[in-house]
């Protein structure tokens, strides 16, 4: 059967109209999230006031913004960095989750799975507890380095360092077997979690600080945090998207991907490190916020399919918008942890989607 020409081309550009709808819709959602996130709160800010403040501060329009100074402070110093921080964290976690689910071919994979969360938590806990135990360090800790606090630095390098350790232990020759990576990450995480527990037990009055960090919060995010975490997450996103073909091939399994010309060990190593950079940067400014990185990729895979060309950008946009709205919910509900909101709203929606989807999470079943 060499039936010449098929009725229409079977190979389509990544379904351009679908991509336009998904990304256009996502962009609109992101804009709504931005306006609502900055506008709502104990003091309401109208979109017009917002525009005038931003026009004055960012574009230099007008001698003054013509808006009450307190409103200007709320918008520029409090809400805007917080909303942008939520976007950076949400996008970073959702992208990292997408990547870890693909390279580990495991539907339970999230950005924290191979030790980032445990490492970052231990780093942050040490940074919180250390000044109490060694008062000489308190001066350094109270100050900051390039505007970034000790806790953020320790969390970032704690997460990154842990993953490097896990990779080092799990690597066999040039290969990075997924199951070994997964189990090594689990074991190292458990070890570090024990360290966190021990420090919490011994921390005395710092317990509440540690606990609130572990639950995750965007309350303290400032421009200095964004200046570091934003570019890291943006660079990670671009580097991951550039590897969309490798990510798609890895869904076939290590052997078939190698037969199609992919240096599997090298690709996995690169992808793991890039995704870990994004995760560590996110965790450093927000603590460990769960659920976004696990569920956003799944929801999108069920709706738009597993092609990473579209899946990665869509994950970034949806993760960003979702976390802004969840953080808004947390703020309006009197400052409850944002992770509680993501789980409370996200889990039922995810369950509903799983029930009605024909193609359950089996996209990743190996």
In this structure, are residues 349 and 57 in contact, taking their beta carbons and an 8 Å threshold? no
CB of 248 to other proteins, least distance (A): 6
Binder among 57, 309, 329, 345 for other proteins (CB under 8 A): 309
Please, which residue, 347 or 366, has the CB nearer to other proteins? 366
d(CA 38, CA 35): 5
**Judged by CB, which is closer to other proteins: 12, or 138?**
12
Q: Does 20 bind other proteins (CB under 8 A)?
A: no
242 binds other proteins (CB under 8 A): yes
268 near other proteins, rule: CB under 8 A:
no
Q: Which stretch binds other proteins (CB under 8 A): 24-32, 58-66, 134-142, 305-313?
A: 305-313
Half-sphere exposure in the Cβ direction for 160 (13 Å, CA): 15
In the list 78, 252, 336, 353, the residue contacting other proteins (rule: CB under 8 A) is 252
38, 236, 251, 338: residue in contact with other proteins (rule CB under 8 A) = 251
Q: Which stretch binds other proteins (CB under 8 A): 61-69, 70-78, 210-218, 246-254?
A: 246-254
Considering the complex, state which of residue 78 and residue 304 has its C-beta at the smaller distance from other proteins.
Answer: 304
Distance CA 224, CA 227 (A): 5
- Cβ nearer to other proteins, comparing 8 with 355: 8
Q: Which of 139, 261, 334, 356 binds other proteins (CB under 8 A)?
A: 261
**What x/- string results for residues 43 through 82 when contact with other proteins is judged by CB under 8 A?**
----------------------------------------
* Greatest Cα pair distance in the chain: 81
The reply on whether position 11 binds other proteins by CB under 8 A is yes
Task: Rule CB under 8 A: say whether 307 interacts with other proteins.
Answer: yes
> Min. distance of Cβ 306 from other proteins in angstroms?
4
CB of 35 to other proteins, least distance (A): 31
Q: Which residues bind other proteins (CB under 8 A)?
A: 1-3, 5-6, 9-11, 13-14, 242, 244-245, 248-249, 251-253, 255-256, 258-263, 301, 305-307, 309, 359, 362-366
């Amino acid at each position: 059967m060499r039936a010449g020409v098929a009725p229409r081309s079977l190979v389509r550009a990544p379904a351009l109209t679908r991509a336009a709808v998904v990304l256009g819709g996502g962009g609109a959602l992101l804009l709504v999230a931005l306006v609502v996130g900055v506008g709502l709160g104990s003091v309401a800010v109208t979109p017009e006031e917002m525009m005038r403040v931003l026009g004055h501060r960012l574009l230099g329009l007008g001698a003054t913004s013509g808006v009450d100074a307190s409103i200007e402070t709320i918008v520029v110093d409090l809400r805007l960095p917080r909303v942008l921080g939520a976007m950076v964290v949400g996008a970073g976690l959702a992208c990292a989750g997408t990547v870890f689910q693909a390279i580990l071919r495991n539907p339970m994979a999230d950005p924290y799975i191979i030790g980032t969360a445990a490492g970052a938590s231990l780093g942050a806990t040490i940074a919180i507890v250390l000044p109490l135990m060694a008062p000489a360090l308190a001066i350094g800790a109270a100050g900051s380095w390039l505007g970034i606090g000790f806790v953020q630095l320790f969390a970032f390098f704690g997460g990154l360092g842990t993953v490097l350790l896990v990779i080092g232990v799990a690597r066999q020759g040039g290969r990075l077997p997924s199951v070994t990576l997964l189990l090594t990450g689990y074991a190292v995480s458990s070890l570090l979690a024990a360290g966190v527990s021990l420090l919490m037990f011994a921390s005395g009055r710092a317990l509440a600080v540690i606990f609130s960090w572990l639950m995750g919060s965007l309350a303290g995010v400032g421009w200095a945090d964004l200046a570091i975490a934003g570019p890291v997450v943006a660079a990670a996103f671009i580097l991951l998207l550039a590897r969309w073909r490798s990510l798609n091939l890895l869904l076939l399994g290590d052997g078939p991907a190698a037969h199609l010309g992919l240096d599997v060990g090298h690709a996995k190593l690169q992808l793991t490190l890039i995704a870990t950079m994004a995760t560590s940067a996110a965790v450093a400014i927000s603590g460990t916020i769960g659920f976004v990185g696990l569920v956003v990729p799944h929801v999108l895979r069920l709706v738009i399919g597993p092609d990473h060309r579209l899946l990665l950008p869509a994950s970034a946009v949806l993760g960003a918008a979702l976390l802004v709205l969840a953080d808004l919910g947390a703020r309006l509900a009197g400052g409850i942890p944002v992770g509680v909101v993501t789980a409370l709203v996200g889990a039922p929606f995810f369950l509903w989607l799983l029930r009605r989807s024909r193609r359950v999470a089996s996209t990743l079943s190996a």
